[in-house]
Each structure stands twice: as structure tokens, then as C-alpha cells.
């Protein structure tokens, strides 16, 4: 399946403000649109971002150019939506302007857009494709079900996760927005196939069971992913390493943009 891109979820009809306007212009636009912030443009080029909190105790006549934040982070429309999610949840920024190669404003991607994309991440097609793979590799006939699985019994098959994405999954779980994980259940073992961030987020929140697509294999056979987990010394979710997300390539884009302003 093709990876989901920012262009698939961003808002194209974006309200912006001109850098040559004033604080009064921004306040009037907030009152009219009920938005809490806007990309600032010079012609078609994004040069900054201004939010409601930037206007506190600022005279109405002050130019937007003097008040706006120039240290903005932007997204490319062809960027993987998961990368955009990491930047949004790590930085605490609620909205990223989406620009083309000339820094012209194309749209905006918000934390709500990212959450919507993640809820849709697990598809029936993904589950059935995995079942087909199991049939071909092991000659088995798995059964697909839906139910709860104990978090403590999950065997991880991924050695590392990102801390910022983990925070995003914890937010989703608290809001009741988390999607099901995917597991393979065979005699004596529940193998976590997809949803490591969700599983560890649930564990950190004290949640003991998770909704799951359960692919059950009656045969007592060891799967390749189990051998891989053993090679990585993975026995429980506690063995999965949580990494702080390194500085994203978007930061380089931001620096180039700021230098032009």
C-alpha cells in the first residue's frame, strides 16, 4: 500500500494574513474566522506564523512583521504523514503550513488532521495482506477475529519506538481514538505485529487490555518474526527501546526559509 502523505490530509483552503498588515488586522480576522492563528505571507511566500497569544499586550498599530514568529516549521505535501505527526507532537505546534519548493503556501496540516490519519492507519486490506503472507510462508489457514488482548502478554517484534509518537498514541488512547492493534495468536504466544506505540502507551497509562485484530493460528509453529524477536532479545514490551526523535529534516527547511526572510 502507498504511504499516506501530508497532501492526503492537509486543508487546502487556508486563511492567511499579509506581513504588511497590523495587529488590528489579525484580531479582526480571528473574530471573523474563529481561527487562533495564521500563516503570514509576503505575496505567495510563507514568511512566518502569528497566533492569538502573540498579540497579548501588543498595540493594535504594530506591524505583523514585528510580532510574527519567524522560527516556523513547515511541511512538504509529499512528506510522510507519520513524519509530520512526529514533528507536531514533539514540538507542540498545532499547525504546520504546507509549502512547495519555492515556499509558496499550499495548505496547512493540523494535529487533528494527523490524528484522523492515524485512526485510519489499520485497514482491512493490511490485515488480509498479512494473512495471505502467513498462508504462503507456513501453509496455515489462519482465522481472523476481533477482541481484547492482555497487554502484559504481548511479544514485541519491534526493538525501537519514538518518544514523540508514543506521546501522540497516549493522547489518542486518552481521547478514545486509538485504533486496534494487530496480533498473531498461536498456542502459548500472542505476537504483536502492528501497534507497538499503542501497546506501550497503554502500558504506561495502566491499561491492561487492548482492542485487537486477532489472527489465530491453530498450529504450534514458530514464526519468523518470533525468531527475529529472540535475536533482538525481545521478550516483553519493557525490552523495547524508546528513542527521543532526532531533529527532523524539516528544521533544515525552516532555517533556509528564515534566512530568506
Domain ranges of the chain: 6-117, 122-243
Q: For the domain made up of 122-243, give the CATH fold.
A: 3.90.1530
What's the pLDDT at 253? 45
Cα atoms in the Cβ-side hemisphere of radius 13 Å centred on 119: 14
> How buried is 78 (Cβ within 10 angstroms: 0-12 exposed, 13-18 middle, 19+ buried)?
exposed
What's the pLDDT at 86? 81
**Residue 170: closest CA among 207, 127, 143:** 207
**Residue 155: closest CA among 242, 82, 222, 244:** 222
pLDDT band at 249 (very low <50, low <70, confident <90, very high): very low
Distance CA 65, CA 40 (A): 8
What's the pLDDT at 187? 94
Please state, in angstroms and as integers, the Cα–Cα distance from residue 152 to each residue in 155, 168, 189, 258, following that order. 9, 21, 12, 47
Cβ count near 193 (within 10 Å): 21
What share of the chain has pLDDT > 70, as a percent? 89
Homologous superfamily of 6-117 in CATH? CBS-domain (3.10.580.10)
- Can you spell out the DSSP letters for 97-163? EEE-TT-BEEEEEEHHHHHHHHHT-S-HHHHHHHHHHHHHHH----EEEEEEEEGGGEE---SEEEH
Contact 197, 161 (CB under 8 A): yes
> How buried is 137 (Cβ within 10 angstroms: 0-12 exposed, 13-18 middle, 19+ buried)?
exposed
* Res. 203: pLDDT tops 90: yes
Contact 8, 81 (CB under 8 A): yes
Distance CA 215, CA 143 (A): 6
* Res. 97: pLDDT tops 90: yes
What average pLDDT is seen over the chain? 86
What's the pLDDT at 226? 92
**What is the mean predicted confidence (pLDDT) over 238-251?**
67
Sign for the pseudo-dihedral over CA of 51, 55, 61, 67: negative
Amino acid at each position: 500500500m502507498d504511504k499516506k502523505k501530508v497532501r492526503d490530509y492537509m486543508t487546502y483552503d487556508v486563511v492567511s494574513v499579509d506581513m504588511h498588515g497590523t495587529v488590528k488586522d489579525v484580531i479582526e480576522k480571528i473574530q471573523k474566522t474563529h481561527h487562533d492563528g495564521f500563516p503570514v505571507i509576503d505575496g505567495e511566500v510563507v514568511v512566518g506564523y502569528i497566533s492569538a497569544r502573540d498579540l497579548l499586550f501588543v498595540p493594535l498599530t504594530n506591524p505583523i512583521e514585528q510580532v510574527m514568529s519567524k522560527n516556523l516549521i513547515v511541511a512538504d505535501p509529499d512528506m510522510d504523514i507519520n513524519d509530520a505527526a512526529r514533528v507536531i507532537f514533539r514540538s507542540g505546534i498545532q499547525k504546520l503550513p504546507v509549502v512547495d519548493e519555492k515556499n509558496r503556501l499550499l495548505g496547512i496540516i493540523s494535529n487533528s488532521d494527523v490524528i484522523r490519519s492515524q485512526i485510519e492507519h489499520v485497514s482491512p486490506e493490511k490485515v488480509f495482506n498479512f494473512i495471505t503472507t502467513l498462508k504462503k510462508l507456513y501453509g496455515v489457514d489462519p482465522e481472523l477475529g476481533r477482541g481484547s488482548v492482555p497487554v502484559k502478554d504481548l511479544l514485541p517484534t519491534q526493538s525501537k519506538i519514538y518518544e514523540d509518537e508514543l506521546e501522540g498514541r497516549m493522547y489518542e488512547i486518552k481521547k478514545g481514538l486509538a485504533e486496534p492493534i494487530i496480533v498473531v495468536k498461536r498456542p502459548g504466544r500472542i505476537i504483536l505485529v502492528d501497534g507497538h506505540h499503542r501497546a506501550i502507551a497503554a502500558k504506561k497509562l495502566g491499561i491492561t487490555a487492548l482492542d485487537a485484530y486477532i489472527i489465530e493460528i491453530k498450529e504450534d509453529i514458530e514464526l519468523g518474526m518470533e525468531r527475529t524477536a529472540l535475536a533482538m532479545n525481545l521478550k516483553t514490551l519493557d525490552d523495547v527501546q524508546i528513542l527521543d526523535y532526532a531533529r527532523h529534516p524539516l528544521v533544515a527547511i525552516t532555517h533556509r526559509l528564515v534566512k530568506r526572510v
